[in-house]
Chains A and B, each alone.
Chain A
Amino acid sequence: MLAVERLGVTIGSAALLDGVDAAIAPGRVTAIVGPNGAGKSTLLACLAGLRTPDRGQALLDGQPLASLGATARARRIGYLPQDAPLHWNIAVRALIALGRFPHGDARSDLGRLAIDRALTKLDLHPFADRLAATLSGGERARAMLARVLAGEPDWILADEPLAALDIAHRYALMAHLRAVAARGVGVLLVAHDIALAAAYADDALLLHGGRLVAAGPVTDVLTPDRLGPVFGVAFEQVQTATGPMLVSLSDSR
């Protein structure tokens, strides 16, 4: 179980996170939802070990995350940032091999097998020897996810992984994340696309102004009643052929 206790992060006098208590379950996709500045990425950064909270702590299976070494943490928690830079034009296989860094075995048989499994899961074998800069946006997003999968972590933290993708690739990437969660991995992602989060996530954390407003199954959290006051926009649940769908109404006045 990945959890945070009374988590607080401040910069100067501004509280980015304030007394957040939350637990994320393995084998499920959890979406962090909230307006800009709600503290979504900060929460993710605390869990990824990128930021030390000023108050409270993050816990991995009941153990403080801070007490875990950086390598031990990295083996269990994979981090997929929003549009990571690609500073060197390396081969796709080499890019994915970076996921084995915490294990230090990218060039051994064990590591190669894990890299191959990641290539297979995301249908990237045809691209393995291509240079990463030649990939399209959607292919690159898959390669970046494969990099995280190659580390075979128990938890995947994804910061707005859908931002640069068109709608078809968003659906595809969410389907990949669902498949990963189905194998027991806990997936936590920051999502700006609330409708997509409602459709694909199991649970949601609703943040507003650094505080946790609601947490639980998406059907309980991502409702027009809860979302409206947080975003200052009216939401409506509409029935479609494939089930209920959340839509926002551009003008709430």
Chain B
Amino acid sequence: MSRPARLALLALGVLLAFALALIAGKVWVPLWGLAAGDPRGVIMMELRLPRALLALTVGAGLGLSGAALQGYTRNPLADPAILGISALAALGAVGAIFLGFGLSIGVVAACAMAGAALAVLLLAALAGRSASAVAFVLAGTVLSSLAGALIALLITLSPNPFATSEIMSWLMGALTDRGWLELEIAAPLVAAGSALLLTQARALDALTLGEAVARSLGVDLRRLQGVLALALALIVGGSVAVTGIVGFVGLIVPHLLRPLFGAEPSRLLLPSALGGALLVLVADSLVRLVPGAGELRLGVAMALIGAPFFFMLLARYRREIV
């Protein structure tokens, strides 16, 4: 099957998953034939549609980020979380909730983006002049640990049980009760970041033969690093701000698609965006279908699907990765 045919098939999958996200839930809503005034119409337009669009946006952004990061670090285990950008964005949002702004999405979002931006600045400072992928990943690991510790500290110090539960619930990551407002915040950020990432596709390819060859081919590694950092701050900051931490998307999707679309980083970017959207749409539909009154948290569900799956991949590709 040719590459355009595979891409078209993947896009069709996203379309089907989007339809599923609109109809599936505690209340099943048909896609057409609703009478005017049917309350299910409100469910569709005010709850399901913005939530599905948000799943599409966040999933595409995270899938794309994962593919770009794996290309940049030349490490199939890289992911936005590894660079610490997710963790610092989360720290920003948790800080806002801690200070009592839990009900004000605008403040939480602004703080998450500030956290992501700070992560980018700290990464640049920690990674230093070397611009090497290893230094970048190590700096990210330091940031992740630090952010994790500070989040734990904020939870411990949290002024009241309400704030504690808000923080815990937000940290688990979900699309529950997200509406048009959250979409308006996330979509432009993710779109701008994605457009920036796509401009670096060929430079990522050049890194296949290592940094020396890439530089000899005319790649400006520091510029590449700067553009990637900015793009990731927009995508990951924008996503984490509205959904909390939804892991494993950026890690798993490129892995799954590599056998189908080849290992060249540039050829994996667009498929990973589609694959990420597909994965998050399906996962978010499934979490609504668990029996009982509530729903499973998306972040928890992704980890439940993702961790064993990733473990399986590791076992299969062990020889190639090492």
Question: A: which residues have CB within 8 A of B?
Answer: 48-50, 69-71, 73-75, 77-79, 81, 84-91, 94-95, 98-99, 101-102, 104, 106, 144, 147, 151
**Could you list 16 examples of A-B contacts with CB < 8 Å?**
A49-B216, A70-B218, A71-B218, A75-B218, A77-B216, A84-B210, A86-B208, A90-B263, A90-B264, A95-B208, A98-B205, A98-B208, A102-B217, A102-B218, A106-B202, A144-B209
Query: Contact mask B245-265 → A, CB, 8 Å, 1/0?
Result: 000000000000000001111
A90 neighbours in B (Cβ, 8 Å): 208, 262-264
- Residues A50 and B209 in contact in the complex (CB < 8 Å), given A87-B74, A88-B263: no
Q: Count of chain B residues with Cβ under 8 Å from any Cβ of A?
A: 21
Q: Within residues 179 to 216 of chain B, which ones have a CB less than 8 A from any CB in chain A?
A: 202, 205-210, 212-213, 215-216
The residue in chain A whose Cβ has the minimal distance to the Cβ of B71 is A88
Report the bound CA distance from A98 to B215 in whole Å: 12
B46 neighbours in A (Cβ, 8 Å): none
* B207–A50 CB distance below 8 A: no
Tell me the smallest distance from the CB of A151 to a CB of chain B, in Å: 8
The residue in chain A whose Cβ has the minimal distance to the Cβ of B210 is A85
Tell me the smallest distance from the CB of A84 to a CB of chain B, in Å: 5
Question: B: which residues have CB within 8 A of A?
Answer: 74, 202, 205-210, 212-213, 215-220, 262-265, 320
Tell me the smallest distance from the CB of A42 to a CB of chain B, in Å: 13
* B207–A87 CB distance below 8 A: yes
Interface centre among B205, B212, B216 (most CB of A within 10 A): B216
Tell me the smallest distance from the CB of A31 to a CB of chain B, in Å: 20
A147 neighbours in B (Cβ, 8 Å): 209
* B210–A101 CB distance below 8 A: no
The residue in chain A whose Cβ has the minimal distance to the Cβ of B220 is A70
- Residues A49 and B215 in contact in the complex (CB < 8 Å), given A88-B74, A88-B264, A98-B206: yes
Given contacts A77-B216, A101-B217, 12 further A-B contacts (CB under 8 A): A50-B215, A70-B220, A79-B212, A79-B216, A84-B213, A86-B208, A87-B207, A88-B263, A89-B263, A98-B213, A101-B202, A101-B219
Report the bound CA distance from A71 to B217 in whole Å: 7
Lowest 10 CB-CB distances: which A-B pairs, in order? A79-B216, A74-B218, A87-B74, A88-B263, A71-B218, A70-B218, A101-B217, A85-B210, A84-B209, A102-B218
The residue in chain A whose Cβ has the minimal distance to the Cβ of B202 is A101
Report the bound CA distance from A205 to B47 in whole Å: 74
Report the bound CA distance from A74 to B203 in whole Å: 13
* A79–B218 CB distance below 8 A: no
Report the bound CA distance from A106 to B264 in whole Å: 13
* B212–A81 CB distance below 8 A: yes
* A50–B210 CB distance below 8 A: no
Q: Which one of B74, B207, B219, B262 contacts A91 once the chains associate, using CB atoms below 8 Å? A: B262
Tell me the smallest distance from the CB of A45 to a CB of chain B, in Å: 8
Report the bound CA distance from A77 to B217 in whole Å: 9
B205 neighbours in A (Cβ, 8 Å): 98, 101
* A74–B320 CB distance below 8 A: no
B217 neighbours in A (Cβ, 8 Å): 74, 98-99, 101-102, 151
Report the bound CA distance from A62 to B209 in whole Å: 31
- Residues A101 and B208 in contact in the complex (CB < 8 Å), given A88-B74, A94-B262: no
Report the bound CA distance from A95 to B210 in whole Å: 12
